């Protein structure tokens, strides 16, 4: 079953006064793009989180939000990022000089700026927190995976139905196709008969050969066979597991190429109308495939 690249999942775990909540959201993307947000004190766990996401997903832009709360927050150590605080202070001084205002910058003001105060856990806490975080992460990623599969099932149904519609049009074109060269040849003979009327010494056999050659250019049998083959592969991919979005997109490009060739070669009003209808369905399929993993 195919999977969508859109979904949401949430997981949580708590133990010994510590609670972890993980939220994971994903949208469509050409590649796998992972963005992780967690408290600065636990940035060392980012690579481990990223590794778990990669195990489950092949494509999509995935945001992972990690929230960690302690039952007794007053026991958490608080420190100051001195380098960041000094950078803020210097920037504020420079701004005051540019604006020509007093440099009455207080430590309290600097402390309110982003990431100056570091509220964290004792050194080495990451190792003891990871099993708890992993439980919440596993639950969130599992829920995200389920959501993507559920949306994928909806997409699969729509793409199957549109493929059946395309197939019906192709069958109708196939029924009409044998008559096109015959009718085209008849029109050519009629036109040529009017053009050569009264001209002596023309080789009628040669003219008939030219008519036959021109009529053969309307033959779309090969294009119809290839389109049928592409549709068979399309149905097989919709039942496959794993990331098939790019292969579906490639197949659509091939189907567009064949139907455009049919439209150009057929030189028939009835077939042209069906070609337009097929291209409309393929466009809708293309929109849906952009969200398939």
Which CATH number characterizes residue 59's domain? 3.30.230
Cβ atoms of 60 and 5 closer than 8 Å: yes
> Does some domain include residue 118?
no
CA distance 102 to 256: 68
What is d(CA 14, CA 84) in angstroms, rounded to the nearest whole number? 32
Q: Do residues 159 and 141 share a domain? A: no
The residue among 97 and 158 whose pLDDT is bigger is: 158
Mark whether 284 and 159 lie in a shared domain.
Answer: yes
Average pLDDT over residues 256-262: 95
Of the candidate ranges 169-173, 261-265, 272-276, the one whose mean pLDDT is the lowest: 261-265
User: What tens digit of pLDDT does each residue of 202-231 get?
Assistant: 555 655 665 555 656 778 889 999 999 999
The structural domain count of the chain equals: 3
Lowest mean pLDDT among 50-54, 58-62, 267-271: 267-271
pLDDT at position 199, please? 53
In a domain, residue 116? The reply is no
Per-residue pLDDT tens over the stretch 121-150: 545 566 788 999 999 999 999 999 999 999
Q: What is the mean pLDDT of residues 260-286?
A: 93
User: pLDDT value at position 249?
Assistant: 95
According to the model, what pLDDT value does residue 136 have? 97
In a domain? residue 158: yes
Q: Is 15:100 a contact under the CB 8 Å cutoff?
A: no
- Same-domain check for residues 145 and 95: no
Number of Cβ atoms within 10 Å of the Cβ of 122: 10
Q: What percent of the chain has pLDDT over 70?
A: 84
Distance of CA 118 to the CA centre of its chain: 38
CA distances (Å), origin 129, targets 11, 17, 55, 132: 15, 12, 21, 6
For residues 30 and 262, give the distance between their C-alpha atoms in angstroms, rounded to a whole number.
30
| First-to-last C-alpha distance (Å) of the chain | 11
Determine the 3-state secondary structure of 292 from DSSP: strand
229 and 161 belong to one structural domain: yes
Residues 257, 180 within the same domain? yes
Q: Flag whether 86 is in a domain.
A: yes
Give me the pLDDT at residue 111, please: 80
Q: Does 1 map to a domain?
A: no
Give how far Cα 262 sits from Cα of 184, 252, 290, 293, Å. Answer: 15, 15, 26, 31
* Residue 142 and residue 104 share a domain: no
Same domain, 280 and 236: yes
In a shared domain, residues 236 and 165: yes
The answer to whether residue 258 sits within a structural domain is yes
Phi and psi of 267, rounded to 5°? 55, 45
Window from 66-75, 231-240, 283-292 with minimum mean pLDDT: 66-75
SS3 203: coil
Q: Look at residue 197 and tell me if it is in a domain.
A: yes
Distance in angstroms (rounded) separating the CA atoms of residues 147 and 3: 9
| pLDDT digit string, tens, across residues 87-122 | 888 888 888 888 877 877 888 888 888 877 776 654
Print the domain residue range for 254: 152-289
The pTM is what? 0.73
Both 16 and 31 in one domain: the answer is: yes
Residues 89 and 171 in one domain: no
Residue 117 lies in a domain: no
What pLDDT, on a 0 to 100 scale, did the predictor assign at position 3?
Answer: 92
Mean model confidence pLDDT for the chain: 86
The answer to whether the beta carbons of residues 219 and 265 sit under 8 Å apart is yes
d(CA 257, CA 255): 5
Torsion of CA 61, 49, 55, 128, to 10 degrees: -160
| 251 shares a domain with 188 | yes
Are 168 and 138 in a shared domain? no
| Helix residue ranges, H only, the chain | 46-56, 82-99, 107-111, 125-176, 179-195, 204-216, 221-239, 245-266, 269-289
């Amino acid at each position: 079953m195919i999977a969508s690249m859109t979904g949401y999942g949430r997981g949580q775990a708590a133990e010994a006064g510590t609670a972890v909540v993980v939220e994971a959201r994903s949208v469509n993307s050409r590649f796998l793009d992972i963005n992780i947000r967690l408290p600065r004190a636990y940035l060392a766990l980012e690579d481990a989180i990223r590794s778990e996401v990669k195990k489950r997903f092949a494509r999509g832009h995935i945001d992972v939000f990690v929230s960690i709360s302690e039952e007794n927050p007053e026991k958490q150590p608080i420190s100051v990022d001195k380098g960041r605080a000094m950078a803020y202070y210097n920037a504020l001084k420079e701004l005051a000089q540019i604006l020509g205002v007093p440099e009455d910058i207080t430590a309290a003001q600097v402390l309110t700026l982003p990431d100056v105060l570091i509220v964290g856990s004792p050194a080495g806490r990451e190792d003891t927190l990871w099993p708890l975080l992993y439980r919440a992460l596993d639950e969130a990623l599992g829920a995200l995976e389920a959501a993507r599969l559920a949306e994928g099932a909806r997409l699969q149904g729509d793409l199957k139905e549109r493929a059946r519609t395309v197939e019906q049009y192709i069958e109708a074109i196939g029924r009409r196709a044998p008559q096109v060269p015959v009718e085209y040849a008849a029109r050519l003979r009629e036109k040529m008969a009017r053009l050569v009327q009264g001209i002596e010494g023309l080789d009628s056999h040669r003219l008939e050969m030219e008519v036959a050659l021109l009529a053969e250019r309307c033959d779309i049998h090969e294009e119809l066979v290839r389109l049928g083959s592409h549709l068979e592969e399309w149905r097989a991919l919709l039942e496959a597991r794993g990331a098939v979005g790019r292969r579906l997109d490639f197949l659509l490009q091939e189907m567009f190429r064949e139907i455009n060739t049919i439209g150009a070669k057929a030189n028939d009003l009835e077939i042209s109308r069906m070609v337009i209808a097929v291209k409309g369905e393929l466009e809708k399929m293309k929109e849906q495939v952009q969200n398939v993993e």
